[in-house]
Each structure stands twice: as structure tokens, then as C-alpha cells.
Amino acid sequence: MHDPEGSMSTLREAHAAASERWSSVSWSFDCYAAHVGEERPPHLTDLYLGGAGGWRREGAWAAIHDEISGPLELRLRRQPCGVHSPEDLVSESIATLMVDDPEASPVGAVHPSKLVRYRGRTSLVNYFLVVAKRIAIGSHRRRREHAVDMEAVDPADRRSDSTDPERGAHLDRLAEAIRQAYTALSARQRFLLAMIHGQGIPKALAGELVGLPPWGVSRELEKIHDHMRCALERSMPEDWDHPSREAWASAWQRCFAEDGSARDRVATTRERAR
């Protein structure tokens, strides 16, 4: 038999425990209760923190980072992570769930993040673990597809467009578009790109040097990627054949090589990483 009074008492106890545990997060009982609804999942305390993050309550994401980073990294170290380090998967999973949820409606000026979908049926760490695994699997699948595509290219085809003036001009325009998009970034954004994508330096170390936590680095990279997608939308090749891939990689390498400020800071960072 449903006991509304007992159910509400359970919810109040969970809210009180969560409020005490994460005192830096402020979320009223009424808002918490509205988020939970009629269901009483087993992880009501975690649902407080997850819901506060989903609705972007002040201090919630910092508390989430502190709460899940250690346990999540330990679990990821016991599992294959592909090309990602456990630290990077932690920050990538946080950044993934921080973005606006396209299926959720904003309330006032607040657009909930994807974490608003967390419903407390499993622990918050387990929820982030699933997201981290999906990121690793997706990255592995893309790399494998890229390798298959490259194996399928006939060596003769790789040279077929190199003497085509029109195609060469298009690849030159692509390189120039990349250069312009890169130089339009802030010095900090260029530095992060040069370190992480250009030199493979861990996000945690890159973030330390620019005053960002690992998940903050992931959010900044997401902004950079959005900027680059918009800036390069009209210049992207229709067919990513071998010449296109080579032109793309070469243009990025030139950007990193010509950016003296980023290059010098990267050299210093690599010395620290040894």
C-alpha cells in the first residue's frame, strides 16, 4: 500500500543527508522533490547531487567532480580504455554530461544539462562510468573505421589528385581556413590545442598550467571544437581521401609550429612532464 507520508519522510531524510554531505551545494527541498517525482529510487542521495548538477545549481559541478573523480578513475584503471587515459575519460564524461540537454525544456534562464536524465537507479559513479565506457568505445570504433578506410585506398589513388590544379587549390583554401580559424582562438585556447592535440600532453597537466580543472579543460575543448566546426563548415572536403587527410594534418602542424607563444609553453610543459 502506498504511504505518501512515509515516502515524503524518506525524501526529506535523503535531502537532509545530501545537504549536509555537500554543503557547498544549495538546492531547496521543494525543487529536489519536484525533480525526484513519485518514484523512490535506491540512490536518492546521489540523485540530489546529480539533479543539482542537471539543473546547474551553484557549486554542484565542482562537488560532482570531487565526488566521482577518484572512484571513477580507479574503476577505469581496471578496464581497457583504448587510446584514452583514465584521467581523460573522467574529464570527458563530465564534459559530456555538462552540455545542454536538447530534449529538456529550459526553466526560466536555466537550460538543464544532460545529467538531468540521471534518475538515481544506480550510483552516480556508475552512471558516469557508463558514459566513460561509451566514449572509449566510440573513439575505438572511429579509429578502427579510419584504419580500414586507409587500408582500402590504392597507393595510386593517393597520388591521383596531387597534380589536379583545381583540387590543389581547394586543399590550399582548406589550409588557409584552418589557419584563420586557429588564429581567431584566444591564446589559452591555442595553447590547449597545441598541448593536447599537437603534443599529446595530458589534460590534467594542461589544465593545471592555465588554471582549469580537467573537466574545465574538456569544456574549453568543446568550445574550441564548436568554433572550428563553424569556421570550417564551408571548407571541409566532401571526400576525405588521402590527399585531404594529409592537407588537414599538415595545416594543423603548421599552425602549431608557427605559433611561437604556444610552442614555447609546450616545450616548457614537456620538460615538466618528464
- Higher confidence at residue 169 or residue 69? 69
pLDDT in tens, 103-160: 888 888 888 999 999 999 999 999 999 999 888 887 656 655 544 444 554 554 544 4
CA triple 75-78-79, angle to 5 deg: 95
CB atoms within 10 A of CB 256: 18
pLDDT at site 50: 97
Q: What are phi and psi of 244, to 5 degrees?
A: -65, -45
Alpha-carbon distances, residue 212 vs 57, 74, 84, 142 (angstroms):
20, 22, 19, 28
pLDDT at 266 over 60: no
SS (H, E, C) 213-240: CHHHHHHHHHHHHHHHHHHHCCCCCCCC
pLDDT at site 203: 77
Q: Tell me the mean pLDDT in the region 69-95.
A: 84
Q: Is the dihedral of CA 201, 204, 209, 212 positive or negative?
A: positive
pLDDT in tens, 85-105: 888 888 888 888 988 888 888
Q: Give domain limits for the chain.
A: 4-137, 153-273
Burial (0-12, 13-18, 19+ Cβ within 10 Å), 230? exposed
Give, for 128, the enclosing helix (H) or strand (E).
helix 124-151
CA distance 176 to 183: 11
pLDDT at site 54: 95
> What is the Cα Rg of the chain in Å?
23
pLDDT at site 160: 45
Alpha-carbon distances, residue 219 vs 10, 98, 163, 209, 234 (angstroms):
36, 8, 41, 16, 25
CA distance 193 to 265: 12
User: Percentage of the chain surpassing pLDDT 90?
Assistant: 29
